[in-house]
Amino acid sequence: MPRQGKINSSVAAHKLSVLLRARVVLPISRPPIEDGAIAISGNRILAVGKWKDLSRRRSGRVVELGEVILLPGLVNSHCHLDYTAMAGQLAPAKKFTDWLKLITTSKGGWTYSDFAESWLEGANMLVRTGTTTVADIEMVPELLPDVWTSTPLRVMSFLEMTGIRSGRPPKEIIREALEKIKSLPKGHCRMGLSPHAPYSTKPELLRLAANASRRQRLLVTTHVAESEQEFDMFNDRRGDMFDWLARNQRDMSDCGIGTPVQHMERQGALNEKLLAVHVNYLGPGDAALLGRRKVNVVHCPRSHTYFRHQPFPLAQLLSARVNICLGTDSLASVYKARKRSVELSMFDEMRELASRMPSLPPEKILQMATINGARALGRTGEIGEFCRQAFADMITIPLAGKPVEAFEEVVYHRGQVTASMIDGQWVVPPPGLNT
Ligand SMILES: [Zn+2]
């Protein structure tokens, strides 16, 4: 496996109680705390509060983090780590189907070690830029669990399933995925199922994945209503995607009877265990249906911009009380200017969303990148917020302005974090800390 670069995943755990002090602490589930502190022991948070209160009640080693904002590690609810090395290689296509053809050709020439190196490069980027938990789509499950043990990230690995081109029976695809899940160790990283998208799967595969999710309490993630072409295919039996897939022997009898969201509903695939990714194109009643079924929606702002989709239906989804989280998607669908580098970064996603929707409060954007993602992944109270017994997953960025502007500072932060802790261990140690 490639080396981890500067990121240190082997720093010894601080088993004794440690008190971290920062100019501003953002617990997310509570109001911001000026001159705040967090007490941790091992990999868990013991207490969160004002420095003057905590320092009186708690003993332990003190780490002065200084003029920084201390916040929970970011939760990236959708990523394809193994596509990281495709950054800037696919020119933005006019049609979504053209991009699908491009990426299929591009990854066709990759070897196992290309995918592994690309995966780890992406994981390192995420650690540097403040993600501590990622929901990742695994196209090459053979990489697991080697890549898991080479990153300090908490990874929720979703096994990608398609089956249109291969013509494999959905029962066989699901059986193989469930066997893979059973064969891997349960610990820091976990697994779920990812029927790729309604257009790239048979309806039976969506049904079987939903059944397995209910029986085995597995999470499921699917790309839903990403493009206008997908919407036209399901709703109206027309458009480029319909024509392309019909030519490629897909049984199109599930088209022309409703929107992609309604297609998911017909397969019994809408529930609180589903992370529906993108959800850019909705028909009447779709948002309300997603809200009723407690589906989690993942928005990927830079990928949305790259494909020039119509505006994300945020207001509709919010008024239907849908839990909305943020993801980076892959670097294969992020615009890269010539001679500029591009990174997987939840800060870049938050900033993109803020620029597209200036009336959205920064506090809400940060919730989408933390506590909402935790809820979608079934980890409320464990990650994405500072509360008693949560995992000690946290990051710092410099505080350049006033403490009251901390949410803005986070959302508009560029580049790397100044420190990151995952599971009680510094994976990016704060400057000057003697570990
Ligand atoms: Zn995706």
Three-state secondary structure readout of 106-168? HHHCCCHHHHHHHHHHHHHHHHHCCEEEEEEEECCHHHCCCCHHHCCCEEEEEEEECCCCCCC
pLDDT in tens, 71-98: 999 999 999 999 998 777 767 767 778 7
CA of 196 to the centre of ligand 1 (A): 8
* Same domain as 291, residue 179: yes
* Same domain as 369, residue 247: yes
Question: How confident is the model at residue 103, as a pLDDT?
Answer: 72
CA of 83 to the centre of ligand 1 (A): 10
Question: How confident is the model at residue 1, as a pLDDT?
Answer: 37
214 lies in a domain? Answer: yes
CA of 78 to the centre of ligand 1 (A): 6
4 lies in a domain? Answer: no
Instruction: Give the DSSP per-residue string, 160-208.
Output: EE--TTT---HHHHHHHHHHHHHHSPPSSSEEEEEE--TTTS-HHHHHH
Measured CA distances, 10 to 107, 189, 312, 358 (Å)? 32, 17, 41, 41
Question: How confident is the model at residue 323, as a pLDDT?
Answer: 98
* Same domain as 309, residue 324: yes
* Same domain as 261, residue 291: yes
Strand partners, 391: 44
- Residue 418 near residue 397 (C-beta atoms within 8 A): yes
CA of 39 to the centre of ligand 1 (A): 37
CA of 19 to the centre of ligand 1 (A): 39
381 lies in a domain? Answer: no
CA distance 129 to 343: 9
CA of 222 to the centre of ligand 1 (A): 8
CA of 80 to the centre of ligand 1 (A): 6
* Same domain as 239, residue 190: yes
Question: How confident is the model at residue 3, as a pLDDT?
Answer: 37
25 lies in a domain? Answer: yes
CA of 300 to the centre of ligand 1 (A): 9
Digitized pLDDT (tens) for each residue of the chain, 435 residues in all = 333 334 444 333 444 589 999 999 999 999 999 999 999 999 999 999 999 999 988 778 999 999 999 999 999 999 999 999 877 776 776 777 877 777 777 777 788 888 999 999 999 999 999 999 999 999 999 999 899 999 999 999 999 999 888 889 999 999 999 999 999 987 778 999 999 999 999 999 999 999 999 999 999 999 999 999 999 999 999 999 999 999 988 999 999 999 999 999 999 999 999 999 999 999 999 999 999 999 999 999 999 998 889 999 999 999 999 999 999 999 887 777 776 788 999 999 999 999 999 999 999 999 999 999 999 999 999 999 999 999 999 999 999 889 999 999 999 999 999 999 999 999 999 998 765
CA of 53 to the centre of ligand 1 (A): 45
145 lies in a domain? Answer: yes
* Same domain as 225, residue 99: yes
CA distance 143 to 333: 22
* Same domain as 91, residue 21: no
CA of 107 to the centre of ligand 1 (A): 15
Q: What is the CATH number of the domain that holds 211?
A: 3.20.20.140
CA distance 8 to 426: 8
9 lies in a domain? Answer: no
Instruction: Give the DSSP per-residue string, 230-247.
Output: HHHHHHHS-SHHHHHHHH
Question: How confident is the model at residue 277, as a pLDDT?
Answer: 98
* Same domain as 410, residue 319: no
Tokens 């008024």 -> residue: 319
CA of 111 to the centre of ligand 1 (A): 21
Cα dihedral 276, 91, 86, 197 in deg (nearest 10)? 20
Structural domain including 321 reads 74-376
What are the φ/ψ torsions at residue 281 (nearest 5 degrees)? -125, 110
Q: What is the CATH number of the domain that holds 23?
A: 2.30.40.10
CA of 203 to the centre of ligand 1 (A): 19
* Same domain as 411, residue 266: no
* Same domain as 165, residue 299: yes
Interaxial angle between packed helices 203-216 and 170-183, expressed in degrees from 0 to 180 and rounded to the nearest 10: 30
405 lies in a domain? Answer: yes
Nearest of 5, 302, 300 to residue 124 by alpha carbon: 5
Task: Tell me how many domains the chain contains.
Answer: 2
Tokens 């790309």 -> residue: 223
Question: How confident is the model at residue 137, as a pLDDT?
Answer: 96
Task: Name the token pair of 72.
Answer: 């929970």
Q: Which of 356, 376, 396 is the last residue of a domain?
A: 376
- Residue 132 near residue 153 (C-beta atoms within 8 A): yes
* Same domain as 306, residue 397: no
CA of 329 to the centre of ligand 1 (A): 5
CA of 434 to the centre of ligand 1 (A): 40
* Same domain as 265, residue 289: yes
pLDDT in tens, 275-305: 999 999 999 999 999 999 999 999 999 999 9
Question: How confident is the model at residue 90, as a pLDDT?
Answer: 66
Question: How confident is the model at residue 337, as a pLDDT?
Answer: 72
CA distance 176 to 168: 11
CA distance 160 to 361: 34
CA of 293 to the centre of ligand 1 (A): 22
CA distance 131 to 149: 17
288 lies in a domain? Answer: yes
